[in-house]
Amino acid sequence: MLLLTTIEFVVFCFAASTIYIINDIQDYEKDRIHPIKKNRPIASGKIKKSEAKYFVLVLLLLIILIQCSLLHFNMLTINTFIYSTLIVFAYILINIFYSFYAKHIPILDILILAMGFILRVYFGGSFLNIEISNWLYLTVLSFSLYLVLGKRKGELQKSKDTSRKVLKYYNSQFLDKFMHIYLALTLVFYSLWCMNFESDLLLYSIFIIIFIVMKYSLDIENTDAYLSDPVETLLHDKILLISILVYIIYIGVVLYGKSIYL
């Protein structure tokens, strides 16, 4: 299972990379005049657009090749092969739709970005034949919406990038209101997910989650925060990064401690 998970992790990385390349090709002209994005490989001219298009094809072929190889070596059943492959390409198609059209439509742009997180979860469950619980689905949905809304808020308040046309439809009051709603729902849904397990130790992870979301919220409310981009915020906040690592270790010990005789 660990080997299969690692291989499929690489497959989804290829899928995500495909989207990033397509998006950079699509936004080539805008990125060239952006103070930060102009340094990206395609925008800076280090990689030609024609070369990037060929690389997209290579990544798509690698995804198909790896999936077929897993099926051939009986690491995937025909059903899991079909289901997991469909999810990967659904992720790619949905994000292509976002890059070319939906990112300019208010509300729809947020929902599609959140859908990407949901598809990741179901992809993980698909090839391992693990059923995703409703509470986990709702937790990921709420938290992803919170993250995307926070990112939009940061872009609206702190970014000088005027190329994102959808920002003119948003205001801080709207974004704040729904950020608070989805943050509250995230904590409720996560708590209910923890209650599904036999071990009461999982309930104590709620304290860690509360600290993480409060620390992240504090960061993005700071006017000097990193444009509210979740990755940038995480990489620049050592306390937040350590807290997430503590959470991962704690969850790993609680869920898998007995099976590895800890």
Question: What digits encode the pLDDT tens for the residues 154-201?
Answer: 888 765 555 578 888 999 899 999 999 999 999 999 999 999 887 789
User: What tens digit of pLDDT does each residue of 32-76 get?
Assistant: 887 777 888 888 889 898 899 999 999 999 999 999 999 999 999
Could you report the per-residue pLDDT of 130-151, keeping only the tens digit for each? 999 999 999 999 999 999 998 8
Distance from C-alpha of 172 to C-alpha of 110, rounded to nearest angstrom: 15
Closest CA to 220 of 140, 147, 144: 147
Q: Return the structure tokens found at 177.
A: 């209101």
Residue 259 φ/ψ region, left for φ over 0, alpha for ψ in the -120 to 50 degree band, beta for the rest = alpha
What does the alpha-carbon distance between residue 139 and residue 163 come to, in Å, rounded to a whole number?
Answer: 32
Q: State how far the Cα of 91 lies from the Cα of 106, in Å rounded to an integer.
A: 20
Which residues are CB-neighbours of 5 under 8 A, at least 6 positions away? 124, 127, 128
